[in-house]
Structure 1
């Protein structure tokens, strides 16, 4: 499949592909999402974004995106679109503004699927509080 088939044509659009360890961990999707919920901050419209360090599929409609060490965001998607085969999947990020990732306009998907999903919400994760909570 050609990457150009996955992206709408736009001068401002960019696509970044990265290999990552995308797992859903143990337990159900709901319990996996619930583990992050207490550490989520209010939604933001956009974040500075050039490349992801890592990403994790939390549910069919939620992705945890790490942009820098100790800087993570929970992305809520408009539908299930993270289809991938065995191996290390590549995440495709289609952002309309270079250096930014915005809810309501930007999309993500994987190389293994023709489907991309609109990012509906971006919520910063309080990583320090989460790590402190794990230690207690």
Structure 2
């Protein structure tokens, strides 16, 4: 449930960024987007703590673990990108509409978050990580052999 906070905040921030180009006085939208990004970063850090605990329950060398590691890496990348975006916005101030670079950073970060969200859904709904019984999780928790002798 914690993931809804950063997702919602970052989607709303992008909407505010776009809307800042459509109004006569964009400063309030640019400022709102900046603080929504901050809320999203804090929410992502809280979600990451719980996610890391989930990661510890997944056996190593399994498809679920590989998916979880990519999911975690993408989430860390996105969170760092949004944190950098917050500091960039804070340093520049919020007197006008959001610049193209900041808007692009938010859009690309949100797209990467979408890919990570797909992987998170795969973890929960295909592999049953922390939501299903042992029999359901068997597919994602079965170790696979790698190398030239793999059949």
Assess same fold via TM > 0.5: no
User: Normalising by the residue count of structure 2, what TM-score does the alignment of the two structures yield?
Assistant: 0.23
Structure with more helix by fraction: 2
User: Normalising by the residue count of structure 1, what TM-score does the alignment of the two structures yield?
Assistant: 0.24
Whose Rg is larger? 2
Structure with more strand by fraction: 1
